[in-house]
Structure 1
Amino acid sequence: MEEVLIGLAFIFCLKKKKKRRSYWMRRTLKAREHYSATKYLEDLGIDGCLNDFLRMNSSEFEFLLNLVGKNIAKQDTNWRKSINYTERFAVTLRFLATGCSYGSLGDVFKISHQLISMIIPEVCEALVEGLQEYLHMPTSAQEWLQVANKFFNLWNFPHCLGSIDGKHVAIQKPIGSGSEYYNYKGFYSVVLLALVDAEYNFLYVNIGCQGRITDGGVFANTLLRKKIIERNLNLPRDCPLPGRTTPVPYVFVTDDAFPLEKHLLKPFLGPQDNNTKERKFNYRTSRARRTVENAFGILSARFRVLRSIILLDPQKTTTLIMACVLLHNFLRKTKSSTIYAPPQYYDKENSDGTHTSGQWRSDTQQLTSLQPVETQTEDGKVIRNEFADYFSHQGLLDWASSYY
């Protein structure tokens, strides 16, 4: 019995006494009682600076706040007042817009970085839930034809249902993941794969695939790929290109990271000689693919959290990226879309066939592209040759003879 008591006394002595907190809240955070972030946001709106601060104007901010406010609001307690939903929403948008640290955000909004780390995922989830209608992939042949007509009218590319591409978004190494998220470029990432229409809007996205997976495998595991194989997309019937007689399917334009198949069109590999149909085809395909390149470029230029290493677990990172995609589509479709992304942000097509690079390309911290694959099918080769013949004859652009 004596030995037991001695042992218990020894264990009790080893226990470290919990240090009693000398304060409930840091003095710097107590300034929130006399500092109104809401008033600061109002002043930014009056001065016309809210767009640079949160990537949207006051009316768009109010619309989104009303949309998600009830889902992110918290109740006051007898101990302390909660952070109001306006400040919760604003601190999240500021984080998405800049990617700055929680400590820096805390200095601006007078909120502890521990609380900010809980607020941001909650608000992103609310945004994803509230903005679902702004991400819509066509479900009927008529809707797909509307997408194809816009590509033909804006980019002179017939039978195009959209442009597909994927990018690696850098994350910190998830705990216990080993090399699962370690990509071929030498950093940890999740993949954002997207289908974009002729007006830089996202029609479909797949987010969260581990960076380790080969880039051909990224697309192979998507719902879009499954529906293409099973013919469940309700695509329009095959028909000839303008001025030709051979029926060809409607296609998605891609780059070297995707296979060449019946509904997937990619450029010819290697350098091409001048004035050949292969070179003309590659130019026209690249021209149509600028839609997805610009969509990714604008997305990461306006929501710069995507250009930093995201310090969240993969599931929360997936929600955060989806929130950025939905905000992009929402802001692109508002009356003030030119404020979100001014014309100089996009690549500009000139009348002589040259183009002026968009402002987003001047930033070297762009999203990393997928790794090329060389898979080709015979059907894909035949269809690509039909498009190449069309661009060399019936589908010539006005300036093409002098350019090529």
Structure 2
Amino acid sequence: METFLQLLRMLGLFQMLRIAGRSRLQRAIHRRRRRRRIAVRKAACFAAAVITATPRRAIWVRPRSQHWWDTVVLRTFTDDQWRAHFRMRRATFDVLCGKLRPRLDTRRTHLRDCVPLEKRVAVAVRYLATGASCSALSDLFGIGKATVHGCVWEVCLAVRALQAHFIRLPRGETLREIVAGFEAGAGFPQCCGAVGVSHVPVSPPGDDASDYYNCNGSYSIILQAAVDHLSRFTNINVGWAGGVHDATVLRHSTLFQLAESGDLFPPDTRTIGSTQVPLMLLGAPAYPLLSWLLTAYPDDGRLTAGQRRFNRRLGAARAAAAARAFGRLKGRWRCLLKRVDVDVSKAATVVGCCCVLHNLCAQSGDDDDFPDAWLQDVEELVPAGDAGVPADERGPPAAVRRALVDYFSGPDR
């Protein structure tokens, strides 16, 4: 019995020793964890104090002058100076910034201040208006060259996303205004616009560079556009290689698909002579004669006086719309006059951005006093060898063309 009691005492003592040892271990672990938490808090407080006391560090940002944009432009520029430097009035620039704000607005971080939205848009617009290099824009706006490149590209993407808002095919009352405008200005009935192409110089890709070599002896991509009587774009198709024929670009465009499906224009006809003349576009000589696309007679040296007169009237109407639109596009956004300094896969985005801004400026009234000096060095090159596409003179489109020949041969025309 006494032996059993001694055994129990020994077991109880052993258990107490185990509990005491475990408590000491737990207390040691707790002390280590507490010291670690205190050290982390001290480090966080020290880092916050350093960031607060030194908001800009040379390791992050090299000091640059912000004087031109922050002081000269924003505080002293008049509307004329805005137009000279950015090819648009200050009011139009503010409208553009308002349209882009939902897509481009950013927030300030602890490491550095973000470039304000207005400044990023100004960098991109200045590049499009002048074609200046990233180095020149970096010195002018006081930001890094990589930041300049990023600003230009993100603004071009955001503006191109607004294409459906600013470039639309005419419908309803707008379509009637265009038809009336062509008849009043150019004397051409049932005309809903003119369609043509313009070549934009690019750096050819390493592969298939010959596809971009056009008949004018340079590398380019093609901008096909339909324009109204005020030289505003109503449809664009951009990105085809410069070596592709204009008619091929047309046949693969959304414009052609809509026209062939009957969704381009409503079936409103006008009786001229004894022929029902539908609503049509005026096309370049390289295009085929179609029910919705009116082109000139091929000049084979045997045209009648009436046919030559018709060709002159059609050419004058096209020049007053399409050639004028392309000239003003490149005159305002002069980056399109020289080789677009981006990868060819991105060049279509830059050209499309310029087309959207062209319509924005036209709708805002910036075209009312378009300076003739902006058109200096702007030449619209006409592809060689496109004297006209022979048409079936027995079909309905040929009958419409003959009716217009007689219409323009009248005594009061």
TM-score (norm 2): 0.78
1:264 is aligned with what amino acid? L
1:313 is aligned with what amino acid? D
In structure 2, relative to structure 1, the CA distance for the partners of 1:366 and 1:25 (3 Å cut) is farther
1:250 is displaced (CA, Å) by: 2.3
| Residue number in structure 2 paired with 1:356 | none
SS at match of 2:107: coil
Equivalent of 1:124 in 136, 146, 156: 156
| Residue number in structure 2 paired with 1:104 | 136
In structure 2, relative to structure 1, the CA distance for the partners of 1:235 and 1:44 (3 Å cut) is farther
Equivalent of 1:260 in 285, 289, 305: 289
In structure 2, relative to structure 1, the CA distance for the partners of 1:267 and 1:47 (3 Å cut) is closer
Distance 2:405 2:304 in 1: 12
1:44 is displaced (CA, Å) by: 5.0
SS at match of 1:49: helix
Equivalent of 1:69 in 101, 122, 130: 101
| Residue number in structure 1 paired with 2:52 | none
1:47 is displaced (CA, Å) by: 7.1
1:236 has 2:267 as partner: yes
Identity %: 26
1:128 is displaced (CA, Å) by: 2.4
| Residue number in structure 2 paired with 1:292 | 322
1:333 is aligned with what amino acid? Q
1:144 is displaced (CA, Å) by: 3.3
Structure with max Cα Rg: 2
Distance 2:334 2:308 in 1: 35
Equivalent of 2:241 in 210, 219, 222: 210
Name structure 2 gaps, 5 residues minimum: 1-57
1:175 is displaced (CA, Å) by: 4.2
TM-score (norm 1): 0.79
Whether the 8 Å contact between 2:298 and 2:390 is mirrored in structure 1 is: no
Whether the 8 Å contact between 1:261 and 1:377 is mirrored in structure 2 is: no
1:38 is displaced (CA, Å) by: 3.1
Comparing 60-69 with 164-173, greater Cα deviation is found at 60-69
1:252 is displaced (CA, Å) by: 1.2
Whether the 8 Å contact between 2:203 and 2:344 is mirrored in structure 1 is: no
In structure 2, relative to structure 1, the CA distance for the partners of 1:226 and 1:57 (3 Å cut) is same
1:313 is displaced (CA, Å) by: 2.4
Q: Whose helix proportion is higher, 1 or 2?
A: 2
1:151 is displaced (CA, Å) by: 0.8
| Residue number in structure 1 paired with 2:89 | 57
| Residue number in structure 2 paired with 1:328 | 358
| Cα displacement string for residues 35-70 of structure 1 (whole angstroms, at most 9, x for unaligned residues) | 362333224533731111001111111121122134
Whether the 8 Å contact between 1:163 and 1:252 is mirrored in structure 2 is: yes
| Residue number in structure 2 paired with 1:251 | 280
What pairs up with 1:131-280 in 2 under 5 angstroms? 132-139=164-171, 143-241=174-272, 244-270=273-299, 276-280=305-309
Distance 1:200 1:279 in 2: 25
Distance 2:258 2:64 in 1: 55
1:194 is displaced (CA, Å) by: 0.6
CA RMSD of aligned residues (A): 2.6
1:80 is displaced (CA, Å) by: 2.0
Whether the 8 Å contact between 1:160 and 1:250 is mirrored in structure 2 is: yes
1:139 is displaced (CA, Å) by: 4.2
Distance 1:154 1:47 in 2: 30
| Residue number in structure 1 paired with 2:379 | 366
How many correspondences in the alignment? Answer: 352
Distance 2:151 2:345 in 1: 15
Distance 1:97 1:108 in 2: 14
Name structure 1 gaps, 5 residues minimum: 1-22, 346-358, 397-404
| Cα displacement string for residues 109-166 of structure 1 (whole angstroms, at most 9, x for unaligned residues) | 12222221221111012222346322110245x6533321211112111011111100
